[in-house]
Amino acid sequence: MTFNDIFKSNFLDNVSAVTPLDMLLSLLLAFGVGLFIFYVYKKTYQGVLYSSSFGVTLVALTMITTLVILAVTSNVVLSLGMVGALSIVRFRTAIKEPLDIAFLFWSIAAGIVLAAGMIPLAVIGSVFIGVVLLLFVNKKSAVNPYIVVLQCDGAESEKRAMDYLKANTSRCVVKSKTARKGAVEVNAEIRLKDDNTDFVNALSDLNGVSSAVLVSYNGDYMG
């Protein structure tokens, strides 16, 4: 009995199904595209805490996907088994930023296209996607939204503060209001006429206004 007889399948034939040159070129291209995705991720990240490990994950995910697809394209039977094996995998890590999902799918798609041999599509498509993300994600709004938190001692001081606020801003909308005995708290969304925020100092000096806080936010409001 020879060594080939031990494996009744075409196991030894699969060793040369993908040439070493194809493996090397595919993995090098996947590494380069993954680095580009990592670069775009760093330039477009707008979260609070940047995670460098997620960026490294994007590079690794591109290469791993390329590796898996190379194996799948070399053997149809293996591809069916691979689908069944990967279907039981569950990922428990929570995605904190919605844009992170796009980067994950981008890495997977780039790895698949590279392993399929469509190198121009993978490179040109990745460059195009990167340019679009750099243009739109980093685009700053002409008028940034702000939230003003007012602490007043009654209805009259609240009215004076709101009138002053509307006169010194281009837009003022009350988002929430909390009234207690001897105290009123108002949260208002505003748009500034210019970059000058000195009106907040004058607002806090009004009679009956105990404090005025100006907070920048991303436009999402809950409450």
* Residues 66-89 as b or e (16 or more Cβ within 10 Å = b): bbbbbbbbebeeeeeeeeeeeeee
Instruction: State residue 220's pLDDT score.
Output: 46
Domain ranges of the chain: 3-137, 145-216
Q: Just give the CATH number of 145-216.
A: 3.30.70.260
Instruction: Give the model's confidence band at 179: pLDDT under 50 very low, under 70 low, under 90 confident, else very high.
Output: confident
Residues 6 or more apart whose Cβ sits within 8 Å of residue 45 = 97
Of 24, 100, 92, give the one whose Cα is nearest residue 63: 24
Distance CA 95, CA 77 (A): 34
Q: How do residues 134-165 score in pLDDT, each as one tens digit?
A: 888 876 555 668 888 888 888 888 888 888 88
Q: How do residues 104-131 score in pLDDT, each as one tens digit?
A: 899 999 998 988 888 899 999 999 999 9
pLDDT at 62 over 70: yes
Is 155:184 a contact under the CB 8 Å cutoff? yes
pTM, full prediction: 0.62
Helix axes 20-44, 52-74, angle to 10 degrees: 150
Token output for 97: 């930023």
In this structure, the chain runs to a length of 223
